[in-house]
Amino acid sequence: MKKLLFQSVFFLSGVIVVAQERLSADRPDASEGATLTPKRYFQAEFGLGAVNINDDDFYITHPDALFKYGVSKRFELQFIAEYLSLYEKYIPSTKTTRGFTPCMIGFRTALWEQKKIIPKTSVIVRAGFPFLASKDFKPEHVQSVVLLTMENEITDKISFGYNVGPAWDGFDTTPGWFYSFSSQFDLGKRWDSFLEVFGSAQKNAMPQNVIDAGLGFYINSDLKLDGYFGFGITNDSPKNLFGVGFSFRFH
């Protein structure tokens, strides 16, 4: 359960969209983008997903939600909520646990723009409070994450994004570390895609590493649909994960 809670914080994924006039959503990959929500814009991102922890146990998010508001050119507010159903195989029957993981409140602030090989960089700070969680998913302490988000635009069709930062899961006072590398591809006026490696590591625990890929479709510049699929590449990683979602914004 501890690993599940630590992991679920980061399955609210991010997309770095090369064409900045289009909505830049922090899903469906796990890499958070360095691009902020425009000033006075409200943005909402919803997803339905499943994670097969192993052959017997899995959980479903239905939904996870990220809400963002652009306060200024360099600062945005964030709120994250996730409703989870956990299925654990026992004899003679499967145990089902449902509820909200700790809702997270935070912000993203821009640090600097890209200059040659120096990436465009922002920082995200979030905190999830135990009283904002259902009883079965309530941690002992505040969950928190500080994430450095970076991106390099290579061409007008290709960009790379990288994340790194410490995270506290609410059960252990020693932080774990989240990291990701994502390649982003603009496939034209309405399509984009990504290929990514991401993972987390905690003291006295095996690292979890995942490869995933996905597609995004823009109905218009303010409304996007997406889908993704991935699989674990280390022993303690989830067996596989997949999901769909949509994002929109308005002034």
Beta 191-201 vs 208-220: how paired, if at all? antiparallel
> Which residues touch 166 (CB under 8 Å, ≥6 apart)?
145, 146, 175, 176, 177, 178
Q: What is the pTM of this model?
A: 0.88
pLDDT in tens, 211-237: 999 999 999 999 999 999 999 999 889
Angstrom distance (rounded) from CA 160 to CA 156 = 12
Domain 2-250 class, CATH top level: mainly beta
pLDDT in tens, 20-61: 489 999 999 999 999 999 999 999 999 999 999 999 999 999
pLDDT in tens, 168-181: 999 888 899 999 99
pLDDT in tens, 135-166: 999 999 999 999 999 999 999 999 999 999 99
